[in-house]
Each structure stands twice: as structure tokens, then as C-alpha cells.
């Protein structure tokens, strides 16, 4: 546990002008094959459904898309641009933000060149959190938790500086299932990822408040993989920091993959379960007050 404040060296900050939201249109590189069109339609339909179901984006929103350079964040940015161009409403602006954490071998030129080519407004924040993590943790310790904590704090600050009220993250359907299983097996609670929530700092009085949204909540990871290949996004690997294998999340991912191989509809069924919760058939007295319920309010039980 850290007992002293962490100072993160600032190396540089690059801010790029934000043009009108009508300027950054997706480049016309979608293959003409029917499969590609069908995939695009499915992705846009699923993302649009999530935006509608959870009220993720409203007119006047300033959305900061957190772009790591991986397939998920690339897909999120691309699909939001396509969705906005297709529908026109709600009227919102977006800016892509990448945090360069000074990991060894990080290709700092890749994203600025790509975003400039596509005419997408963006901001590159450069902070040497990699050195901080290395200094704070002993060799062999898992870096992900501390790294994520530092990254979250920086991104929320940048959102405030850019005037953004919402942060869009690229978590997809599979991520939500993996999180649910992680909490189920290792934390003793039934909890996945919320499609919409308030930032931790924003929930406290006097703090800038940002709404965190996950527009890809209904989208399958396999579809994002295919889309990234079709669009030829400049993918930046997530292993530059030398993060450890065999983490619990990876174990859950492998477990779900095994289940899906044995029963092809297993993931779809599990995800549907996240949308059909029955507190009366669980044991959480905070979610369902069994003790003070009348017989008319109690669940009907079938005796086997």
C-alpha cells in the first residue's frame, strides 16, 4: 500500500485543435464484401441499442474516447464516428485521448499520424507512469492495479481540462462476463461492469464529475477482432510493459473460451442472464427484504 503521494514526471503535452464534429468522418476503407457490410450493421445496431437502453449519449455531450491503441478502443472510436454520421442525433462532440505512459518501445508516432490522417480531433497526454510503477513495486509484483490507478487519475484530469463530461471506454460484452466471473469466484459477489456510472472522484463533493460510459456493452469481442482486421487499425500491443501472464482475468477468459467451444451459445446465454436478475431468488437481504415482506410480495415457490 502506498503511503506517500506519487509524483509523475511530465515530459510533454500535445494538444491538437478540435474541429467541428462534422469534419472527422471515417475513411472509406470498408471492404465491399457482404460479410463486411453485415458486420458493420450488426456492430452499429448493437452499439446503438446500448446507447439507447442505458442513455449513454445525449445532445450536447462532450465525449472523451480513451484510445489505448488496442482493437477495442480503436473499434469504439471508429464506430462512434460512423454511428454519429449515420444518425446525426444526438448531437455530440468527441475527442480521442491517448495516454503515453513512456513504456519501452511505445511507438509514440503511430496514433498521432493515424488520427491526423483521418481528421479526428485528439489529445496526447505524455506521463512517465511506467517509471513510477517500476519504482514502487518489487520485481515480480503485478503492475496492473497501480498502473490502472495512475492512469484513471490522469484521464479524469485531462477530461476536465478538455471540457468533456463523459469518458467512453472500450469494454465489450466479453469483458463484462469476465468481470462477473472474477467477482463471483474471487471476490464473493455478483457484480459485472456497469454500462454507465459516475467517476469515483466525481461522486465526492467538490470534485469534477464525469460520467463513464461503455457503448460496446452488447458487442462481442470476436466481432471487434474481425472489424479491426478489416479496417486495418494501427494496433499497439498491450504487452510493452511486460505485464504478467496467468492473471486471474486471463484465467476467466480461457475458462469462458472453453465453455464456448463446448457449447457455442454459452456466452450469449450467460450475457442474457446479466440482463435478467431476480433478487427474490438470491440471498441478498439488502436487494430483497425477505424479513419484512408480506406473503403477497414473496416469490412463488414450486415444490419439487
pLDDT in tens, 63-109: 999 999 999 999 999 999 999 999 988 899 999 999 998 888 889 99
> Does the pLDDT of residue 234 top 90, yes or no?
yes
Q: Global pTM?
A: 0.84
CATH number at residue 222: 3.40.50.620
Is residue 302 in some structural domain?
A: no
Q: Quick one: pLDDT band at residue 140, thresholds 50, 70, 90?
A: low
pLDDT in tens, 244-285: 544 788 899 999 999 999 998 999 999 999 999 999 999 999
- Give the range of the structural domain holding residue 52, as residue numbers without chain letter: 10-243
Is residue 30 in some structural domain?
A: yes
Predicted pLDDT of residue 242: 54
Predicted pLDDT of residue 269: 94
User: Which residues neighbour 3 within 8 Å (Cβ) at sequence distance 6 or greater?
Assistant: none
Question: Is the separation of the CB atoms in 103 and 241 below 8 Å?
Answer: yes
Is residue 253 in some structural domain?
A: no
Half-sphere exposure in the Cβ direction for 41 (13 Å, CA): 6
Predicted pLDDT of residue 24: 43
Number of structural domains in the chain: 1
* Mean pLDDT of all residues belonging to the chain: 84
Determine the Cα–Cα distance for residues 219 and 174; give it in Å rounded to an integer. 8
Half-sphere exposure in the Cβ direction for 172 (13 Å, CA): 21
Is residue 17 in some structural domain?
A: yes
Nearest to 61 by CA among 82, 42, 89, 41: 89
> Does the pLDDT of residue 4 top 60, yes or no?
no
Is residue 255 in some structural domain?
A: no
Is residue 207 in some structural domain?
A: yes
Is residue 289 in some structural domain?
A: no
Higher pLDDT among residues 239 and 101, named by residue: 101
- Grid cell at residue 275: 440482463
Q: 138 burial class (0-12, 13-18, 19+ CB within 10 angstroms)?
A: exposed
| Dihedral sign for Cα atoms in the order 181, 184, 187, 189 | positive
Is residue 19 in some structural domain?
A: yes
Amino acid at each position: 500500500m502506498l503511503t506517500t503521494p506519487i509524483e509523475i514526471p511530465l515530459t510533454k503535452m500535445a494538444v491538437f485543435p478540435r474541429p467541428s464534429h462534422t469534419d472527422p468522418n471515417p475513411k472509406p476503407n470498408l471492404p465491399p464484401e457482404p460479410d463486411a457490410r453485415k458486420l458493420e450493421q450488426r456492430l452499429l445496431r448493437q452499439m446503438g441499442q446500448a446507447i439507447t437502453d442505458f442513455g449513454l449519449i445525449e445532445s450536447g455531450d462532450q465525449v472523451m474516447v480513451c484510445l489505448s491503441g488496442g482493437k477495442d478502443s480503436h473499434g469504439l472510436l471508429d464506430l462512434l464516428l460512423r454511428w454519429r454520421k449515420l444518425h446525426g442525433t444526438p448531437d455530440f462532440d468527441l475527442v480521442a485521448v491517448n495516454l503515453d505512459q513512456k513504456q519501452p518501445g511505445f511507438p509514440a508516432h503511430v496514433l498521432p499520424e493515424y488520427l491526423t490522417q483521418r481528421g479526428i480531433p485528439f489529445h496526447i497526454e505524455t506521463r512517465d507512469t511506467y517509471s513510477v510503477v517500476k519504482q514502487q513495486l518489487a520485481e515480480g509484483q503485478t503492475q496492473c492495479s497501480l498502473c490502472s490507478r495512475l492512469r484513471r487519475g490522469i484521464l479524469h484530469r485531462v477530461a476536465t481540462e478538455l471540457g468533456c463530461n463523459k469518458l467512453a471506454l472500450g469494454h465489450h460484452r466479453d469483458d463484462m462476463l469476465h468481470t462477473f466471473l472474477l467477482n463471483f469466484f474471487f471476490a464473493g459477489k455478483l457484480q459485472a461492469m456497469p454500462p454507465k456510472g459516475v467517476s469515483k472522484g466525481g461522486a465526492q463533493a467538490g470534485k469534477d464529475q464525469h460520467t463513464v460510459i461503455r457503448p460496446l456493452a452488447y458487442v462481442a469481442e470476436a466481432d471487434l477482432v474481425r472489424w479491426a482486421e478489416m479496417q486495418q487499425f494501427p494496433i499497439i500491443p498491450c504487452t510493452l510493459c511486460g505485464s504478467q501472464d496467468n492473471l486471474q482475468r486471463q484465467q476467466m477468459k480461457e475458462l469462458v473460451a472453453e465453455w464456448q467451444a463446448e457449447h457455442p451459445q454459452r456466452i450469449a446465454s450467460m450475457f442474457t442472464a446479466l440482463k435478467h436478475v431476480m433478487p427474490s431468488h438470491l440471498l441478498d437481504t439488502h436487494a430483497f427484504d425477505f424479513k419484512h415482506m408480506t406473503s403477497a410480495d414473496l416469490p412463488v415457490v414450486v415444490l419439487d
